[in-house]
Amino acid sequence: MSSTAQSTPVVSPPGQDEHRPAFPFESKVLTRLTPTLRKFILLGKVAIVTGVTSSGGRGLGFNIAQSLCESGIRGLAIFDMQQQLGETAAREMSKETGVDVRFYKVDVRDEHEIAAAVADMAERFGRIDVLVNAAGIAE
């Protein structure tokens, strides 16, 4: 591998993957949204996102989870295998947005782990409205 290839940053532009805090949903924003964008507001919904801790807890799954919290959901479950990163992500999102964010240590390849976590979420919140599968398996 050439020295040029080794020095090329993985994230372009550099620093793009740095943590940026989430913001709580503010209902006053509804009056400024187009009809199409209003369809993306998920007031009172409950969501599950898998794969939040890939890329060190700052990748696509993390950003999707963060954007769901900013869109007005009331509950979010993070299903992931990385306990420390998952708990940290849940704690940060909950603190920043006021959304009830829960972490579940789940291997998406294990249907029993998934069933148990989904059952807990359904019992806790009464329903699940959104599922985003952002988990990937690299072997």
Q: Is the pLDDT of residue 8 over 60?
A: no
Domains of the chain: residue spans and CATH: 35-133 (3.40.50.720)
Minimum mean pLDDT range among 9-13, 49-53, 86-90, 107-111: 9-13
- DSSP assignment of the chain equals --HHHHHS-SSSSTTTTS--------GGGGGGS-HHHHTT--TT-EEEEE-TTHHHHTSHHHHHHHHHHHTT-SEEEEEES-HHHHHHHHHHHHHHH--EEEEEE--TT-HHHHHHHHHHHHHHHS---EEEE------
Q: What average pLDDT does this structure show over 126-136?
A: 92
| Residues 33-45 pLDDT 10s | 898 988 888 999 9
pLDDT of residue 49: 96
- pTM of the full structure: 0.79
**Mean pLDDT value across the chain:** 84
Residue 57's pLDDT band (cuts 50, 70, 90): low
pLDDT at 24: 81
